[in-house]
């Protein structure tokens, strides 16, 4: 059993390699298509054409694309993602320091969406076509239709500027606090580990608005999938069997219905999570969140190859792991899928 799981995981990871390789190639090519000239950027505002050429040579940008690609692969193999021009740091270090920020935000957003979305979906599914259902549907659907950048701005305006309930949209911590000692990189968790409740409160307060912005966006897919899945399951033969056997409504709903809806819900969660990681860019921009999304955006605008390449690769790897864990979780729920 265990060896089978390991070999499954192993073969899945092996199977993802070609995709990752393609991601590396495609990103590399797209980045070289960018019209910007990193050498010009690097050379500074007043550089002469010769100076730019000189820099180009220093950076190895005058070599042919295949050679550059080969060099890049060589660096990658050594765990070197290159240097960011914009932050001036090694990309790997930047990613390590920024990825937890994005992940923390995304995970909290997903939690919010799950905590709200699943009950709403259940509510809808158990009262199909009632007004409760319609209102839920309208609200959750509206959630996906709100551009996150717009929601974020409106939330800041209302909750920070007008009401003053939430702290300034200034990233992960109030300016007065310094980050807790790094263990996981998640400030909330690290603060708890360090027993620093003030920092925890501040980190949490900072998280709420951006996470709600993202979470509201993720609400609809989850609520919808729960509703649709549950509706399907509730009208299934085995739920009817369970009812006919006199099992209590609670047991029927949880053990028979919800658990069977879990697989599509888990899949949706995986999809939503990866999608949120992608659109983090917008929320991070609005909330000055020092995550990988805004990092990649800035780098992209600056034609800064290395960070974008590193970011895309990191996310792609993350996706592979995410999909794998979703599949494993689904396999645990429904053994048919584990075969």
Structure tokens at 14: 């092996």
- Rg of the Cα atoms in the chain: 24
Q: What angle do CA 222, 227, 228 make, to 5 degrees?
A: 100
Q: By CB under 8 A, is residue 189 in contact with other proteins?
A: no
Cα–Cα distance between 176 and 283 in angstroms, integer? 23
Query: Which of 235, 97, 247, 111 has the alpha carbon at shortest distance from 172?
Result: 97
Q: Which is nearer to other proteins, 204 or 271 (CB)?
A: 271
Q: How many residues does the chain have?
A: 339
Burial of 261 (0-12, 13-18, 19+ CB in 10 A): buried
Q: By CB under 8 A, is residue 35 in contact with other proteins?
A: yes
Binding mask 231-270 for other proteins (x = CB under 8 A): xx--xxxx-xxxxxxxxxx-x---xx--xx----------
| Contact stretch for other proteins (CB under 8 A) within 69-77, 114-122, 183-191, 316-324 | 316-324
| Contact stretch for other proteins (CB under 8 A) within 61-69, 73-81, 164-172, 182-190 | 164-172
- Give me the least distance between CB of 305 and other proteins, in Å please: 10
Q: Which of 1, 2, 3, 45 binds other proteins (CB under 8 A)?
A: 45
Q: Which of 288, 324, 328, 329 binds other proteins (CB under 8 A)?
A: 288
Q: By CB under 8 A, is residue 319 in contact with other proteins?
A: yes
Stated as kind and residue range, the H or E segment containing 245 is none
Q: What is the DSSP letter of 173?
A: S
Q: Which residue has the tokens 């020092």?
A: 290
Q: Which of 4, 5, 26, 57 binds other proteins (CB under 8 A)?
A: 26
For residue 151, how many other CB atoms are within 10 A of its CB? 21
Q: By CB under 8 A, is residue 96 in contact with other proteins?
A: no
Find all residues with CB under 8 Å of 253, minimum gap 6, and list them: 122, 126
Q: Which of residues 190-219 bind other proteins (CB under 8 A)?
A: none
Q: Which is nearer to other proteins, 195 or 336 (CB)?
A: 336
Q: Which of 62, 86, 184, 267 binds other proteins (CB under 8 A)?
A: 86
Q: Which is nearer to other proteins, 119 or 278 (CB)?
A: 278
Q: By CB under 8 A, is residue 92 in contact with other proteins?
A: no
């Amino acid at each position: 059993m265990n060896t089978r799981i390991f070999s499954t995981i192993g073969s899945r990871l092996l199977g993802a390699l070609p995709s990752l390789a393609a991601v590396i190639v495609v990103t590399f090519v797209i980045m070289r298509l960018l019209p910007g000239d990193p050498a010009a950027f690097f050379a500074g505002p007043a550089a002469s054409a010769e100076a730019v050429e000189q820099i180009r040579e220093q950076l190895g940008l005058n070599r042919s694309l295949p050679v550059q690609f080969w060099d890049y692969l060589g660096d990658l193999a050594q765990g070197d993602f290159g240097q960011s021009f914009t932050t001036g740091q090694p990309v790997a270090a930047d990613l390590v320091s920024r990825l937890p920020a994005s992940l923390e935000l995304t995970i909290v957003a997903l939690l919010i969406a799950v905590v709200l979305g699943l009950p709403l979906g259940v509510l809808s599914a158990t009262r199909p076509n009632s007004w409760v259902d319609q209102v839920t549907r309208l609200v959750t659907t509206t959630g996906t239709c709100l551009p996150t950048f717009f929601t974020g701005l409106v939330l800041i305006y209302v909750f920070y500027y007008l009401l003053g309930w939430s702290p300034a949209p200034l990233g992960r911590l109030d300016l007065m606090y310094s980050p807790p000692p790094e263990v996981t990189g998640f400030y909330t968790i690290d603060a708890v580990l360090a027993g620093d409740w003030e920092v925890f409160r501040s980190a949490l307060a900072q998280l709420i608005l951006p996470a709600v912005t993202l979470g509201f966006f993720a609400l609809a897919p989850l609520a919808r999938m729960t509703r649709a899945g549950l509706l399907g399951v509730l009208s299934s033969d085995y739920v009817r069997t369970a009812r006919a056997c006199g099992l209590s409504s609670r047991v029927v709903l949880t053990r028979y219905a919800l658990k069977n809806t879990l697989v599509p819900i888990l899949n949706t969660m995986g999809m939503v999570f990866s999608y949120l990681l992608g659109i983090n860019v917008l929320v991070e921009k609005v909330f000055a969140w020092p995550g990988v999304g805004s990092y990649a955006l800035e780098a992209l605008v600056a034609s800064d190859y290395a960070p974008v390449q590193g970011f895309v690769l990191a996310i792609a790897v993350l996706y592979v792991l995410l999909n794998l864990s979703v599949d494993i979780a689904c396999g645990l729920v429904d053994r048919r899928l584990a075969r």
